[in-house]
Each structure stands twice: as C-alpha cells, then as structure tokens.
C-alpha cells in the first residue's frame, strides 16, 4: 500500500492535472462543496414553502421534496445525464451532470433539515414576532430562519459528509473523482485491487471522520450555548446571573 501511495499519490489527489483534467480527492471535495453551496438557497426556499400556511405553495414543494427523496441517487444521475443536454440544447460534461444532480438531491434533503430546525423552535418565537408587527415573511427571514440554520449546522455538516460519499457515483458517467482515480490506478496495476480499494476506503474514512468530528464539536457548542441561556425560576438566564 505504501508503494501504491508513493507512486500514485498525485493521481489520487488531483487526478491527471495539470497534464489532464482535474480529479481525485480535490475534485471530490470541489463537487461536494459546490453541490452543498448551490443547493442551500434552494433548500431554504423549499423549507419555507413546506411550512407555508398556503396550500398552493406548500403542496407543490412537498411533492418535489418527496419525489426527489424517493428516487435512488443513481437514477437521478442517469436522468440528469440524458435530460440536461435536451434542456440546454448541447452536450454537457460529466462534472456538470453530477453537479446538477447533487444540487437537486441535496436541496431536497437539506430542506427537510432546515424545516425540522424551524419547527423545533418554540411557538412563542412566531407569536412574539407577529405581536411586534412583523409580517409572516419577515418573521421567518429575520427571527426563525437564523436560529434554525445555526441549530442545524451539525446536521448540515453531516449532510456534507453524505455528499462526499455520493460523489463516488460520478464514476458511472466517467467523472474523474476519487473513485474513478482509484479504478484508474487499479487498471494500471491489475494485481493489487485489494490494496488500491483499501486506500480508497481509508481516504473516504479519513475525510468523513474529520468532518463528523467537526459536526460533533459544533453540536456540543450549540448545546452548551442553549444550556447557558436557559431561563431560571426567577425568569433570568444563567448568563445574567453570572454577570451579576
């Protein structure tokens, strides 16, 4: 395994770049980050529509979320692979296809994370904001959404971990991400498939483990902040007591 890493570390890390296309770990991370960033605003809109009191907005959003979540990701990859060229009128790269798929897929899942975060907030948040004269949209945008997103950061990081693993499906449409790079190395060696794919598994584990630990750390921070601001019997907070 050490010899494989020594001889092929560049292929596994950045693919054939700069002599060829970018790939490996770097492309995997770029796809995962881009997919999460681009899907985030869509997921926020879907989450808000899902909790809307207006059925004309809530029902279509619910149908979209349920449909995407009920279809296997590999099926969405194939659908996007054939559908996007028809929509834009020209062929698109495998990277673009996979990125579009990840945006749609992650938007559906993240919307449920954000919706759960909003609905987990006390009802008094909505009632208090409306009593102050804020409209429904202002209440969601200025009061509920910032709190929900902050509380859901650990879940969002966990979703990012899932996105990193989902990029491996780009292999079926020749996206030169980490799994494709490992298979390229294996096709050159031919006699060491176990070692090559063990390196692949360990690489995914290392990346996902670090991100999972980051999520746990942030989750503890959120829990500590909640504990520090819990009201006491006298109606003041722990932080206020400490300051006095």
Give the domain CATH number at 231.
Answer: 1.10.3720.10
Of 210, 214, 219, 242, the residue nearest 229 (C-alpha): 242
- Distance (Å, rounded) from C-alpha 115 to C-alpha 69? 15
| pLDDT over threshold 50, residue 237 | no
Residue 99, burial from CB neighbour count under 10 angstroms (0-12, 13-18, 19+): buried
CA distance linking residue 244 with residue 242, whole number of Å: 5
* Phi (first) and psi of residue 133, to 5 degrees: 100, 5
Residue 180 structural domain: 2-243
pTM here is: 0.81
Number of domains forming the structure of the chain: 1
pLDDT tens-place string over residues 97-154: 899 999 999 999 999 988 888 888 877 777 777 777 777 778 877 888 888 888 888 8
R_g over Cα of the chain: 22
């Amino acid at each position: 395994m050490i010899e494989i890493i020594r001889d092929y570390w560049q292929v596994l890390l950045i693919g054939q770049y700069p002599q060829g296309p970018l790939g490996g770990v770097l492309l995997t991370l770029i796809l995962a980050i881009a997919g999460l960033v681009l899907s985030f605003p869509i997921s926020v809109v879907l989450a808000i529509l899902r909790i809307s009191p207006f059925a004309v907005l809530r029902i279509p959003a619910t149908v979209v979320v349920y449909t995407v979540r009920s279809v296997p990701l590999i099926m969405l990859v194939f659908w996007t692979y054939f559908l996007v060229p028809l929509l834009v009128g020209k062929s698109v790269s495998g990277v673009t296809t996979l990125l579009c798929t990840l945006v749609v897929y992650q938007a559906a899942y993240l919307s449920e994370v954000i919706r759960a975060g909003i609905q987990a907030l006390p009802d008094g948040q909505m009632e208090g904001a409306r009593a102050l004269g804020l409209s429904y949209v202002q209440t969601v945008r200025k009061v509920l959404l910032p709190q929900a997103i902050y509380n859901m950061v650990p879940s969002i990081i966990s979703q990012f971990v899932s996105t990193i693993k989902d990029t491996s499906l780009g292999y079926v449409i020749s996206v030169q991400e980490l799994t494709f790079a490992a298979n390229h190395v294996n096709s050159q060696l031919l006699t060491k498939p176990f070692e090559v794919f063990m390196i692949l598994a360990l690489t995914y584990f290392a990346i996902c483990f670090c991100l999972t630990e980051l999520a746990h750390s942030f989750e503890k921070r959120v829990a500590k902040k909640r504990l520090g601001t819990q009201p006491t019997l006298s109606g003041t907070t722990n932080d206020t007591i400490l300051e006095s």
